[in-house]
Structure 1
Amino acid sequence: MVEHDTDSDRKAAERQEERRDMLRAIEKEAGEVADWLGKDRLDPRVLAAMGRVPRHRFVPLLEESAAYENRPLPIGARQTISQPFIVAVMSDQAEVTPGAKVLEVGTGSGYQAAVLADLGAEVYSLEVVPSLAAEAAERLARLGYDRVHCREGDGADGWPEAAPFDAILVTAAARGVPPALVEQLAPGGRLIIPVEEKTGRGPAHWFLPAQTLLRIEKAADGSIHERTLFPVAFVPLTKPRERPQGR
């Protein structure tokens, strides 16, 4: 029993050091895109939340050893858990405060939702892949994130019966900004979304998609203000009929 406890303590200490390394990597990358973000530091509350949420619980067992590396990881069904830096930036730009109502489009494994809940938000999260939706709901409940409400659905439609939202985060690249999401944004709310842009032609004269992370804010008078942050790379936002089959 003593040996088992020693092993557990050692593993816990390793996890803590891995989390600190992850936070240092996030802060370093935030400094590199400071001009795009308009600031050189992310909200300390966001970094603290990411230091608390156990990312290794949101990745497949085979990926646990890489859970705190600053990169995306596969989670099945041709989907990924986002790079920690991207999770941090999106959470920072959403300006989540305790008690805020937040919509997440693309639950994935549930990690981004857990970070938002740790920040004190009431989170409504949509996932188009049935297997991921069910697994994420079970995982979040098991880990005690009772402020996260999950369901399977088309993210482009939003969650109208729960609207309006103080913030909306889309964790997959859309071909354009879905009108329903803008409509469901509360006055003063922020929509953070990666959007595909056609920027060039490939060797077969195909347009090559690039992606840009946008911050869209709805003013008190209902007017919309959009700001481009920086280039990103997300899996595409799909509709139910396009969803991947299996894992």
Structure 2
Amino acid sequence: MSPVPSTDSDHFAQARALLIDEIKRELAETRVYLGAEPLDPRVLDAIVRVPREHFVPPDMREHAYRNSPLPIGNSQTISQPYIVAVMSHFLRLPPHGGRVYELGAGSGYQAAVLGAMGAEVYSVEIQPELAARAKALLAELGFERVHVRAGDGYLGWPEAAPFDAIIITAAGPEVPQPLVDQLKVGARIVMPLGSSGGDQSLVVLSKQPDGTLEQRELLPVRFVPITRDRVDA
């Protein structure tokens, strides 16, 4: 796994512990949506190990371990830790971590969690400023197997395909076909499906041998929309 440094602040260590308790409590409260299967133990271990305070703006660091989304600039947010846990779990990463594609790097936090779970992550961010910031931070924290570039995430990362899992951290009314094409048979896409102004559901899509997707709805959610074509892929 990636060499994630622990923070030297007892305050943040305590805050992380409280966050884990809150995530567990919310998972228990939403079993009606998620089912009774136990959470992949790698998920909470990764959330403990990844210093979320580094992925938020300096003036938000005291709030880094709230179980809520937080603004990171450029009209974007870092996802709620509970949602990060749910999405990471339902990717069903293989024991060795596998190779994961992410549409929407944002702050880099979700990619860091997947990296701490042992995955090699390829993440594309449409906003060049965010992509550069996430790439630099992940390198600073030692995530050598997490790769970030600016581009149109809808198109995927073809030269790194096929992927063992795909995570989409922005909402869209449809599943991007290029990503379906880059997913291994039997693997999963986890994404918020729906329009920016309407209902959205977090869904798990499993690729069948004939290339079609089997869909399972998990939770009602609210994500920023997928945006396209601001930079060349």
Give the CA deviation at 1:221: 5.0
Give the length in aligned residue pairs. 224
| 8 Å Cα contact 1:195/1:211 also seen in 2 | yes
Determine helix, strand or coil for the equivalent of 1:238: coil
| The 10-residue stretch of structure 1 (71-80 or 32-41) with the greater mean CA deviation from structure 2 | 32-41
Q: Does 1:125 align with 2:114?
A: no
CA distance in 2, matches of 1:72, 1:224: 29
| 1:24 aligned residue (7, 11, 21) | 21
Q: Does 1:155 align with 2:153?
A: yes
Alignment of 1:1-247 (within 5 A): 12-39=9-36, 41-97=38-94, 98-197=96-195, 208-220=197-209, 222-241=211-230
Identity %: 50
Q: CA RMSD in A?
A: 1.7
CA distance in 2, matches of 1:104, 1:89: 15
| 8 Å Cα contact 1:31/1:41 also seen in 2 | no
Please list the CA deviations of residues 133-159 of structure 1 after superposition, one character each: whole Å capped at 9, or x if unmatched.
Answer: 000000000110001011111111111
Unmatched runs of 5 consecutive residues or more in structure 2:
1-6
Q: When the two structures are superposed, what TM-score results if normalisation uses the length of structure 2?
A: 0.91
Please list the CA deviations of residues 112-171 of structure 1 after superposition, one character each: whole Å capped at 9, or x if unmatched.
Answer: 000000000010000000100000000000110001011111111111111110000000
Determine helix, strand or coil for the equivalent of 2:43: helix
Matched letter for residue 105 of structure 2: T
Which has the higher Rg, Structure 1 or Structure 2?
A: 1
Give the CA deviation at 1:220: 4.3
CA distance in 1, matches of 2:142, 2:131: 17
Please list the CA deviations of residues 78-105 of structure 1 after superposition, one character each: whole Å capped at 9, or x if unmatched.
Answer: 0000000000000000012324000011
Give 1 or 2: higher helix fraction: 1
CA distance in 1, matches of 2:228, 2:195: 19
Provide the residue aligned with 2:4 in structure 1.
none
Please list the CA deviations of residues 209-246 of structure 1 after superposition, one character each: whole Å capped at 9, or x if unmatched.
Answer: 1111110011345442111111001111111349xxxx
Determine helix, strand or coil for the equivalent of 2:199: strand
| 8 Å Cα contact 2:127/2:230 also seen in 1 | no
| 8 Å Cα contact 2:187/2:207 also seen in 1 | yes
| 8 Å Cα contact 1:96/1:167 also seen in 2 | yes
Give the CA deviation at 1:186: 0.4
Q: Which has the higher contact order (CA 8 A, sep 6+)?
A: 2
| The 10-residue stretch of structure 1 (173-182 or 74-83) with the greater mean CA deviation from structure 2 | 173-182
